[in-house]
A and B are shown apart, each in its own frame.
Chain A
Amino acid sequence: MLSIESLKAKIEEKEILKGLNLNINPGEVHAIMGPNGSGKSTLSNILSGKKGYEVNGKVTFEGENLLELETEERAHKGIFLAFQYPLEIPGVNTNTFLKTSINAIKKARGEKELDAIEFLKLIKQKSAELKFDEKILSRQLNVGFSGGEKKKNEILQMSILNPKLSILDETDSGLDIDALRIVSEGVNSLRNKENSFLIITHYQRLLDYIKPDFVHVLKNGQIIKSGDYELAKELEKVGYEDFN
């Protein structure tokens, strides 16, 4: 589904990714762990199409050259990024944003757009599943949301858009145990044979709730080791500094 070959990325002349390789098949959950500044967020930005990077290497998504696509085109193809710091958009109702988003994607795919009633039904069902307070949906997007609410809102969007590849950029940071559980349940409920996940995190904690198929350690812009869930535990014990 997603294949990354010797990916290099620079921003303002600073090299951040230095030849990264990764392959994700449908239905797989991959976790990427690494210290601050190892290039984790850069990787998620490049996959989702953030501008401003000088990128080299090859990235294909379902056989297509991903790097040539606009940000929104990647979203239309089913790539979703749960932001580490979700943006506030004053004056824009959260519901309106969600509806505009899902319909923009449906339109691009040539599917029928949801009308107001269909949308409300979908959102009611999804927020109940995620124990998400519906009142929040009538508030301005992310404005005055607590850290936990922002992250839950990202997971709600993810579950509504039902993406093929979900990238979670440090979604667990700043979450209390309850919120962490809800976020994890959201991810687990979307797991199936087709949907894949790339989970970026500092801590093993999240991986206790979402069992990954693969764990990769990212250091200095490269994946230095890959393994299964056990690798995360080992990492937690040793720490990034001494891990080689």
Chain B
Amino acid sequence: MDNRQKEIDNLKDYKYGFSTDIENTRAPKGLNEDVIKFISNIKKEPQWMLDFRLKAFERFKQLKEPDWQKPKYPKIDYQDLYYYSAPKSMDDKPKSLDELDPKLLETYKKLGIPLQEQARLNGIAVDAVFDSVSVATTFKEELTKQGIIFCSMSEAIQKHSDLVKKYLGTVIPTTDHFFATLNSAVFTDGSFVYIPEGVKCPMELSTYFRINASETGQFERTLIIADKGSYVSYLEGCTAPMRDENQLHAANVELIALDDAEIKYSTVQNWYPGDKDGKGGIYNFVTKRGLCKGKNSKISWTQVETGSAITWKYPSCILKGDNSVGEFYSIAITNNHQKADTGTKMIHLGKNTKSKIISKGISAGNSDMMYRGLVDISSKADNSRNFTQCDSLLMGNKCGAHTIPYIKNKNLKSNIEHEATTSKISDEQLYYCNQRGLNQEEAVSLIVNGFCKEVLQQLPMEFAVEAQKLVGISLEGSVG
């Protein structure tokens, strides 16, 4: 096969695999205080922010990279990465969408997010993060009217310093684990959301992350605060170009729900998974944690994880407020040589707290899938309940599925339920579907979507359809 044909074939498999030729401003390679100061400086950050970063970096130097996870990966040389990369035209910040580099806009169009049209037609507010900086936030005006703040993290640090200072690092402290602490030191951008007391956010808020430059790590930081009695639904989508080397993505996402507030956070993660032989792809080592700080608050995570060479994340809920509720709905699909070690943590601290975990893992090809989850009910969390359901679906006989639940109940008045199943798509089921006129891929897609239905139903309407298709595409060629 000549190279051209190879390229076309590759693109067919991963349609987001293009890269955009844009001049970048980069920090020098490597990780040290100077680079951190460079990042802080270029973002014109206040002193407290730089101190936050340096404190994290001090801590980071004492930490050891964890190695207890199932998917192993070659050692990452943290001095051989760029920690800041931004399209050059961002140096003079555009004031509106019209001033954006047309090439950037073109990139987003290829990704299926024409910002202008999306803003006007869909009524979904989009914040787009390209490599390290946030380039456009749509719908700002409409949101501002209701007092909602939805902007890039960099902008929030400058304009809403009090809020950021009050909440940043309260759910994921700078003293957290290796990757989270690294993020605290070098994070470049991300989204910031604040919903004021009593406000129900009238539209889905959405962020698209894209890694474009090579040898770049992406460390974004997202902070969402739902004040008393407010509600917000937030969606995050991710893609990256195809590159032979592995790229590191270590984001931190912090959610805080005050009294009677609700945050719904949905992710459709489709980072480049590497090629059929397992070459290249993103290492998606992300820390996501929500704090149900107030009474009667609720945080719900929904994730559809189809991309990345390695996915290693546990979106968690700390149920501190009495009567608070945490939910985790997950679909994780691995194909070819992809690996995933994912699940959740539900930490029950308050009384009458409830959590629900629905996890659907699908493994195909030579891939390996692990559900790892912790349910921890503290001695003070009277009358608390957890329900966990972990289902695994295997396709073919070279893949693996594992379930490791950690269950700690220190309260006699509380209870935990755990159900788990493992099944396989049988040849008989496929034959039955084929006999009814469905070809192999349509049959797999139908069966898998049925398997994932409970989770797909949790996604906002607009994205449920997209996710359904993605589920089908991710498994193409995995049977037959």
Q: Which of B427, B434, B435, B447 contacts A92 (CB 8 A)?
A: B447
B451 touches A91 (CB 8 A): yes
Q: How far is the CB of A11 from chain B (nearest CB, A)?
A: 13
Interface segment, one of A17-25, A43-51, A131-139, A186-194: A43-51
What residues of B have a CB within 8 angstroms of the CB of A104 in the complex?
436-439, 442
What residues of B have a CB within 8 angstroms of the CB of A140 in the complex?
450
A92 touches B428 (CB 8 A): no
Residues of chain A in range 67-108 having any CB-CB distance to chain B below 8 Å = 70-72, 74-76, 80-81, 83, 86-87, 89-93, 96-97, 100-102, 104-105, 108
A91-B450, A97-B446, A140-B450 in contact; A86/B432 too (CB < 8 A)?
yes
For A81, give the chain B residue with the smallest CB separation: B435
What's the Cα separation between A74 and B435 when bound, in Å? 8
Residues of chain A in range 133-170 having any CB-CB distance to chain B below 8 Å = 140-141, 157, 161
What's the Cα separation between A237 and B429 when bound, in Å? 38
A71 touches B446 (CB 8 A): no
What's the Cα separation between A67 and B352 when bound, in Å? 63
B436 touches A101 (CB 8 A): yes
What's the Cα separation between A49 and B454 when bound, in Å? 33
A90 touches B450 (CB 8 A): yes
B452 within 8 A of A: yes
B446 touches A72 (CB 8 A): no
What residues of B have a CB within 8 angstroms of the CB of A102 in the complex?
437
A100-B442, A140-B450 in contact; A76/B428 too (CB < 8 A)?
no
What's the Cα separation between A105 and B438 when bound, in Å? 8
* A/B pair count, beta carbons within 8 Å: 76
Q: Which of A71, A87, A92, A105 contacts B450 (CB 8 A)?
A: A92
Considering residues A49, A89, A96, which has the most beta carbons from chain B within 10 angstroms of its beta carbon?
Answer: A89
For B451, give the chain A residue with the smallest CB separation: A91
What's the Cα separation between A130 and B179 when bound, in Å? 62
A92 touches B432 (CB 8 A): no
How many A residues touch B, CB cutoff 8 Å? 32
B438 touches A89 (CB 8 A): no
Considering residues A49, A90, A93, A96, which has the most beta carbons from chain B within 10 angstroms of its beta carbon?
Answer: A90
A92-B446, A100-B446, A104-B442 in contact; A83/B436 too (CB < 8 A)?
no
Q: Which of B434, B440, B450 contacts A89 (CB 8 A)?
A: B450
Residues of chain A in range 176-225 having any CB-CB distance to chain B below 8 Å = none
Q: How far is the CB of B413 from chain A (nearest CB, A)?
A: 34
B450 touches A101 (CB 8 A): no
B78 within 8 A of A: no
What residues of B have a CB within 8 angstroms of the CB of A50 in the complex?
431
What's the Cα separation between A100 and B454 when bound, in Å? 19
A89-B447, A91-B453, A92-B450 in contact; A49/B442 too (CB < 8 A)?
no
B435 touches A75 (CB 8 A): yes
Residues of chain A in range 117-140 having any CB-CB distance to chain B below 8 Å = 140
A157 touches B450 (CB 8 A): no
What residues of B have a CB within 8 angstroms of the CB of A75 in the complex?
434-437
Q: How far is the CB of B450 from chain A (nearest CB, A)?
A: 3
What residues of B have a CB within 8 angstroms of the CB of A161 in the complex?
436-437
Q: How far is the CB of B118 from chain A (nearest CB, A)?
A: 27
Q: Which of B428, B437, B451 contacts A90 (CB 8 A)?
A: B451
B442 touches A91 (CB 8 A): no
Q: How far is the CB of A200 from chain B (nearest CB, A)?
A: 15
Q: How far is the CB of A167 from chain B (nearest CB, A)?
A: 10
What residues of A have a CB within 8 angstroms of the CB of B432 in the complex?
83, 86-87, 89
Q: How far is the CB of A111 from chain B (nearest CB, A)?
A: 12
Would you give the 0/1 interface string for B23-67, flagging 1 where the beta carbon is closer than 8 Å to chain A? 000000000000000000000000000000000000000000000
A87-B429, A92-B446, A92-B447 in contact; A48/B435 too (CB < 8 A)?
yes
Residues of chain B in range 415-437 having any CB-CB distance to chain A below 8 Å = 426-429, 431-437
Q: How far is the CB of A12 from chain B (nearest CB, A)?
A: 15
What's the Cα separation between A90 and B424 when bound, in Å? 12
What residues of B have a CB within 8 angstroms of the CB of A48 in the complex?
435
A72 touches B450 (CB 8 A): no
Q: How far is the CB of A141 from chain B (nearest CB, A)?
A: 8
What residues of A have a CB within 8 angstroms of the CB of B447 in the complex?
89, 92
What's the Cα separation between A83 and B432 when bound, in Å? 8
Q: Which of B426, B428, B435 contacts A49 (CB 8 A)?
A: B435
Q: How far is the CB of A52 from chain B (nearest CB, A)?
A: 8
For B436, give the chain A residue with the smallest CB separation: A101
What residues of B have a CB within 8 angstroms of the CB of A51 in the complex?
427, 431
A-B residue pairs in contact (CB < 8 Å), sample of 5: A49-B435, A74-B435, A91-B454, A100-B436, A100-B446
